[in-house]
Structure 1
């Protein structure tokens, strides 16, 4: 008879459509983009924009992209690797823990994961949003949803949240190890491409609502004043990676991908950086995506296909994506540390 678990771990990733069909992609986009932390405009405008314009027009195009990365046996890469992480972490932690997996959008839902944890009468639940760098639109949205659902409970175990792990040593080491398989010294330049955010979403990092990344020096340092700034955390992750890879400051560029709409997003944009490095005669690029713990549409297709094609059209020769953490044994140990560390 197995031991009854006393501690719960809830891993939460962003989400993925249930299938690459247009209908399922549209359903996913609607849930994702109507989140007020993702598109932070008044609810009526947001719903009209997403349901009336973005989802209907974007779903057919996005469905084709998902079809390109969808595996006939394993399905969505993000869900596949997330489920592997859940299973392997459960094996590492043993019977004293119960590990649940949820997606912020679509299935498995946060509601279903919490419904599984609730009757276990656990001593504690640790929520681990699988986003290395904190942002209101990702980690903040996960915490918001968990709180919304758990506030209906009559009794609460001890609840803790891992807000970020941008400097997690295991994460850094896995990215470096994965990069070394591609012989970084054979590339002309390295890109650290992070998921983008609207610039306006960085202003609330400070309680005053007037945070200014340039004045705060977020690209150069991270400290108490910008501790939860997404931009500062992205650059902090980059510095750790560059140091371990022994890259000179001229040998790499930080950039941001996946922007939506016409509002200003964090710059420089990855597409603009590709033009810049191509104009300088760079032919071979090594690209990291350190905002993702699992390979997904944004890494496999956006970088591995779209940016690779764009770079070749600009005169480049090769773009090599450094694979994400996925199910690397060292990353599972890193997750174990996040799950058990006293915070």
Structure 2
């Protein structure tokens, strides 16, 4: 019997990046990103005015300068590391029965182009793999919504499987420990900081089951049926798993949330408060992690790596090192492979 040419498809999705660090491209990216109703969850007209009349015009030139600092010869790290990961998966013999496409939720390559490529390959099913370890409506939820809005127009809709989170996967934890080992084995640190991208408190409360979420240490201290999709609880769980794997005692690490915007309350503790507190308490050498991101980007390399370092030193600290993201580390690629095989 002839071997079937029908394969399974995998759509690997990350957040997105401007096409270049030039202001018009950054402005275009910001508009698409921030006009997503799951990112800024306010009424459309208010969101439109905020994004197009205030944020994009004034923030784009400043962000363009920052993106220029991040840009490498190969382009945006988030993009080229995504390409490296997908190429590594394509070349894995255990995944020879799969077709792969890389997509970005915002800008290019688009989710629509990735799905169309997989459809052209006549795949029997599609696994959608958003590269967000912890679930949030603004990230994974947005990808799911976008995919569904596209495929609902298809005449034939194949089986679609979504990966909603993977922060607790053993190989994910192992990959972070492997990347961090080059720092931990060479230098002794006074304290460790695990910084995650923040969200407005209202988004956490909107997703709360039976009003369970109180945004407190108590309700985020473990994962259960009521908070299994709570982003803040998953961040705390991620930290516990990583700290245990690396032998970091509880008293030597702190969790915080970065990238807060506006005056409305966001999930706490805030990164700026933690940084100042650590420096003033005499913690001189700190190693920072950004486990909400799997590839180097603006929020890791620039915000946590450079800006937080400057804040820490200004407050009296001496050493602030950043553990790079997983990027295309072999353990990370192996983790993704296992996720794909388990989901098939």
Superposition TM-score tier, normalisation by shorter sequence: over 0.9
Distance in 1, Cα, partners of 2:254 & 2:304: 15
- Give CA deviations for 1:304-326 in whole Å, capped at 9, x if unaligned: 11111111111111111011111
Q: Which residue of 2 aligns with 1:295?
A: 296
Distance in 1, Cα, partners of 2:321 & 2:215: 31
CA drift of 1:5 comes to 4.8
Q: Which residue of 1 aligns with 2:159?
A: 158
- Residues matched between the structures, number: 340
CA drift of 1:214 comes to 4.0
Q: Which residue of 2 aligns with 1:68?
A: 69
Question: Mind listing any 5+ residue stretches in structure 2 that lack a counterpart?
Answer: none
Q: Which residue of 2 aligns with 1:80?
A: 80
Q: Which residue of 2 aligns with 1:198?
A: 200
CA drift of 1:215 comes to 6.5
| Aligned 8 A contact 2:126 2:159 in 1 | yes
Q: Which residue of 2 aligns with 1:91?
A: 91
CA drift of 1:78 comes to 0.5
Alignment of structure 1 residues 9-158 onto 2, 5 Å: 9-71=10-72, 73-92=73-92, 93-158=94-159
- TM-score normalised by L of structure 2: 0.95
- TM-score normalised by L of structure 1: 0.96
Question: Mind listing any 5+ residue stretches in structure 1 that lack a counterpart?
Answer: none
- Give CA deviations for 1:104-123 in whole Å, capped at 9, x if unaligned: 00000001111111222211
Q: Does the C-alpha gap of structure 1 residues 70 and 3 become closer, same or farther in structure 2, counting only changes over 3 Å?
A: farther
User: Any idea what SS the aligned residue of 1:174 has?
Assistant: helix
Q: Which residue of 1 aligns with 2:274?
A: 273
CA drift of 1:341 comes to 0.3
| Residue 285 (1) aligns with residue 283 (2) | no
Distance in 2, Cα, partners of 1:43 & 1:201: 16
Q: Does the C-alpha gap of structure 1 residues 215 and 62 become closer, same or farther in structure 2, counting only changes over 3 Å?
A: closer
- Give CA deviations for 1:170-202 in whole Å, capped at 9, x if unaligned: 111111122121126611100000010000001
| Aligned 8 A contact 1:12 1:102 in 2 | yes
Distance in 2, Cα, partners of 1:218 & 1:229: 10
| Aligned 8 A contact 1:89 1:336 in 2 | yes
Q: Which runs of 4+ in 1 moved over 4 A?
A: none
Q: Does the C-alpha gap of structure 1 residues 234 and 50 become closer, same or farther in structure 2, counting only changes over 3 Å?
A: same
| Higher mean C-alpha displacement, 307-316 vs 126-135 | 307-316
| Aligned 8 A contact 2:99 2:121 in 1 | no
